Every structure is written in structure tokens, then in C-alpha cells.
Amino acid sequence: MKFAGHTMGMPSKDIFQCMDLLAKAGFDGIEVRVAADGQLNDLTYTPEFGRKVREYAAAKRLQICCLTSYYKDFLNPEKRDAEIAGLKRVVDIASELGCPLARAYGGPAIPAGTDAEAARERIASGLREVAEYAQGKRVAIAIETHIGSGTYSATETADMLRRVNHPNVGVLLDYSWVFRGGPETVDEVFELLGTRILHCHVKDYAGPDRDGDFNLQRIVGEGRLPWPAVFAQLRRIGYRGFLCDEYEKYWKKELPEPEEWFPRSLVAMRRMVSAPTMSTRRSISTWPLRVAVVGLGPIGTSHVRALQGLGEGVRLECLVDLSEELRRQKSEEFGVRAVAGIADLPEDIDVVTIATPPAVHFRLAQVAMARGFNVFCEKPLTLNVAEAEALADQARKWNLHLGVGFKMRYEPWFAKARELIGGIGELYEVVTAKFQAFGGKPWVPQTGAMQELSSHDFDLIHHIARVRPVAMLSAHLSYRRGWEKEDGFSLLVKYDNGMVGALSGWYGDSFKWDGRDNTIRFIGSRGYVAIDRFERVVLHTDHTEEFKFVTSPNTFELELKAFLEAVRTGTGEYPDAQAGRDATWIVEEAYRVCPKAKG
């Protein structure tokens, strides 16, 4: 597959400036708007200008791969002839430029109250006339799946192709419109259109639902659309055409400048197209593993130190942070190159660790996996279940490892509790309490006590007892500090083994922190296991055993070592996206059932 950029994303530039930008970024082709305010205008075009354009494209090693026309009203008797003539003019220009395709709409949307059958036949006859004309010009007509046209869905498009019934007509697949129109699946779209696809528009959105929002256009892989599945289907059918980044800055001027957008987009498309689609975990044969750390605050710095302590099997290649000052400081401190973003990382990175404030975890993990990097993300993985599930799906489809920084699993008292838990019989209840002083971290009031303070505790319950949560029975959330999110909580949770959990956590004003901030007690049919963090584990059945602990190993090293070993070998256990999802499920359900918003 080849890659093109659309002049729609460069509205202030002429066609020569557009070609300069795309050639510099490394694209293979260019798609051009043909309109009164486009880079080409069929009403003012001259063969002399066309000759200059064609020569310039050749010099820049760019193929003019498609012309985007806007003639479509083949229904209105007063406009029909002029619209067909306009589309033929675009075909003439394409022929002179050596461009193989002209975009066409499948007519206008059919008005309510119209004889739909007759209307679609009339649209088809107009397209058939243009297709016959274009065949003699060695230009094919690509009917786009597009909102506001008679070919919004794949089903409508397949029907129009059947009606046109001409070998010189195919499909311009804009999957974003098909997705937004719903409810056709990717598999269904390709079952209907796969063999007729001549050209593809690629764009992504970060909208909250299928309706999306043009303001939220994102680099492919950073939004909500299932592009890995689309690209996998394109590979399956042997597609060899262009993937065109249809950047819509023409419509939304507030989007980033094309000089910033197109280079990043090309990198993302290339990585996604080449990403593996096997569902099994992969191993990496490179030695040592090449790692980058994103976020250079206290936790990110701990990642850096841990990685440098893991020995010759790991090479810390890059540090990433938006702060120029932090990049300078940490680069000097650790002797590692620092860059501003994931897009700036070299292609041969194997693993990215993310240690930023939680609100950006989801997007950064998406971006990193879109580049083909395995990801280890600090907890919480995301701030809602849907995002956690989306990341899990992305990792599975692209055969990437996605780990979560639940490092407390590696503390010896919790590891000991997991070893002992089978001795207390059927589990009835777990009781937890967590308390820490609020240290002024600026993101905590926006993240809340459940995610920031106690997501480790939620995960420990799941890990030690080997359970998953299934119901939130009750919840009380405290907002006494006036934060956006809760400063304390008390929850009653049911698990899939029938166990009930009474879970609480609170932020206080001040006290000395020495690690003794957490207690967990599991109660079973034959006794209990009680854990006092940094002190002891007690097993009480028909006798009592006490296991005391003085120190803890470097759990940053232990968790990263386990994750990197799994990346290297394809085997091994680490907290994965499901673990991140289940901890966040507790939070999301507490918000849902809490009897009042504050208090």
C-alpha cells in the first residue's frame, strides 16, 4: 500500500506548496480538491497549468492519485446536465495530469417522499454516462462512501455499483463515514465492497460515540475507529492502492498546522499498516531490549533508575517529556537522549513505559501502540472502563504487550498472602483500609481517592484472591475537601466467587508516611489472612502463624523485569489490561450507584 496526503488539509497553500510539504514528509502521492476554492479549479484550469503541475509532481516523485470533485446532483432536472458536464471536466483534468481516479458521490441524499427506486436509477444512469466517458480517458470513477450522498453506507454503495453496472466504476472507501453511519461491521463492509475498492480515505476521531465530532479529528490510531481491522482486511484482499490522509483542516481551521500533522500521520499509518494482527503474544529476539520512558516526574524517574539497574539485557534509549527543563535535567543526570513526544522516538524502540498524570494515559498508550511499541503504563491504566477495554482490544489485535504498574503485587507481604490464601477455605469477606496524607499532587483532586489512592488495593484483592468484581452493592463518596473528585470512599463490592468486599480509603491532612498505610483482611470458612503493609502477615486457622518483614525490594525493578521478560520471551505473567480494567470498574461502578454526588 502507498500513502497520500489530501490538499483539503492545506487550505492556505497552492498545489505546488502542497506537493512540497508532502514530498518533504515522505508521502508517495497527493489527492487534490477540484473546486472554486480548491488547489485546482475545473472552470479556470488550462492545459499549460496542467503541464506545470504534472512536471512538478514528477520532480517531487509524487503521484497525483485522485481528484476530488463535488458534482453530484444527478436528480434535479435543472442541474443534471451541468453536473454531469462538470464531472466530465474533472475527468479531462485527471487524464491530462496522469491521475487514474476521479472521486464521485453516489448522487445526493434522496429526499423524503421521493420514489427512492426511480431516484437511485436516475443517479446510476448519470454515473454510468460519466464512467463510459472516463473509460476513454483512462480514468476510473471512484464512488465515495460519504454522508449526505446516496452512498453513505456500504450497503447503499454496493447497491449503486450494481445499478451502474460498469467496469470503470469502483469504490472510494471512507471508512470513517461508514463507521459513523453504522451499524455495519468491518467484515460486512469488506464482504460487500472489498473487491471493488480503488482508493481509501483515512481519518480518525476521538469522539465519545459513533456520532463523533469533526473538531476531534486525530492521527490514525489515536481515535476510536477500528483501523487495525480495516487495514487487516485491506491486506487480506491484496489492496495495492493509496491510503490517503484526508486531513480536514479546510473545514476546521482550529486543527493543527499541516506541517505538524502530515509527518506524524505518515509515521502512524506506516506503523499501523505493518503492525502484526496475530492474537498470540509475540516475543522479541532483539538483545538488548530498547526502552523509552514517557513522563519524567518522580515515578518516571523511578522507572529510569529501575531500567538502568536491570543490567545488560535492557538499553534505555530515550526519555520523553513535554517540559524542556525536565528533558535537559534528566538527560544530563542519566546520560540518555531526551525528546518531546512519542512521535519523536526512533522506529526501533521495543517498549515504552508511561509515567504521566493519569488523564493522558489512554491517549499516550494508544499513540505508542499505534507506532508498534509494547506499553507498560502506570496505574490507573485509564479513567474509565471503555478506554481500558479499547486499549486491551488494540493490544490484542496488534499482538502487543500492555502491562499496568500494579507494583504492590511484588511487595513480599502481598506475595506471601497470595501464597497463604488457600488455607482459609471458602472466602467470605475482604476488608481493606487505606490512609495517606494529601501531598499536594496537582492531579489528585481531578483523579480522586479511588483511582489515585486505592487502585492498588483493588488490584491486590483481585490478584491475591484470584477474583473479579461483579457488582457494586453500595458506595459512599466524600467531597469534604471540595475537590472535583472524591477525597475518600467506602464501598461494598461483590466478587465472582461470592465474596463481599468492604473497601475504604481516605486522604488526610498530614502524618509521617513510612509505607504503613494499608491493611487488608481476608475472612474465610477456616480462618483469616491479615496483612499490615510493611510489617507482617498473619495466618489464623486452627493455629496462628506470623510472618514479619523488615524491608521491601525495589518493586519498580521487579515489575519492569517481569514485563520485559514477557516481552522478550512471549511468556510470563504481569498485570495486564484486564487487571487495569477491573480496578477501574470498581471506580466507575461506585460513581454510578453512589446515592448522592457529594457528601
Query: Under a CB-based contact definition with an 8 Å cutoff, are residues 538 and 522 in contact?
Result: no
Q: Percentages helix, strand, coil for the chain, rounded to the nearest 5? A: 40, 25, 35
Per-residue pLDDT at 440: 78
Largest CA distance in the chain: 97
Domain borders along the chain are 2-274, 289-406, 412-551
Query: Under a CB-based contact definition with an 8 Å cutoff, are residues 90 and 130 in contact?
Result: no
Per-residue pLDDT at 281: 44
Nearest alpha carbon to residue 61 among 105, 33, 30: 30
DSSP 45-99: --HHHHHHHHHHHHHTT-EEEEEE------S-TTTHHHHHHHHHHHHHHHHHHT-
**b/e per residue 286-322 (b: at least 16 CB within 10 A):** eebbbbbbbbbeebbbbbbebbbebeeebbbbbbbbe
- Decide if domain 289-406 falls under CATH 3.40.640.10: no
The CA distance from 504 to 395, in Å, is: 32
Please report, to the nearest 10 degrees, the dihedral formed by the alpha carbons of residues 89, 93, 99, 100 taken in order: 20
Per-residue pLDDT at 210: 43
Q: What is the distance, to the nearest Å, from the Cα of residue 9 to the centroid of all Cα atoms in its chain?
A: 22
- CA 540, 544, 545, 548 torsion-angle sign: positive
Nearest alpha carbon to residue 501 among 385, 588, 586: 586
Which residues, listed in sequence order, are joined to residue 49 by a DSSP beta bridge? none
Per-residue pLDDT at 598: 41
The runs of H, that is alpha helices, within 215-257 are 227-236
The CA distance from 79 to 72, in Å, is: 10
Hey, is 149 helix, strand or coil?
Answer: strand
| CATH number for the domain whose boundaries are 2-274 | 3.20.20.150
Hey, is 586 helix, strand or coil?
Answer: helix
The CA distance from 554 to 502, in Å, is: 30
Q: What is the distance, to the nearest Å, from the Cα of residue 217 to the centroid of all Cα atoms in its chain?
A: 12
Per-residue pLDDT at 285: 53
Q: Which residue has the cell 454510468?
A: 128
Architecture of domain 412-551: 2-Layer Sandwich (3.30)
The CA distance from 247 to 146, in Å, is: 15
Query: Under a CB-based contact definition with an 8 Å cutoff, are residues 30 and 54 in contact?
Result: no
Averaged pLDDT, groups of 10, the chain, 599 residues long: 95 96 93 96 96 94 95 92 96 96 93 91 96 95 94 94 95 92 86 93 72 66 82 86 94 90 89 56 65 96 95 92 95 95 90 95 93 94 93 85 95 94 93 89 87 93 93 95 93 94 92 82 96 94 92 91 88 88 95 68
Q: What is the distance, to the nearest Å, from the Cα of residue 441 to the centroid of all Cα atoms in its chain?
A: 27
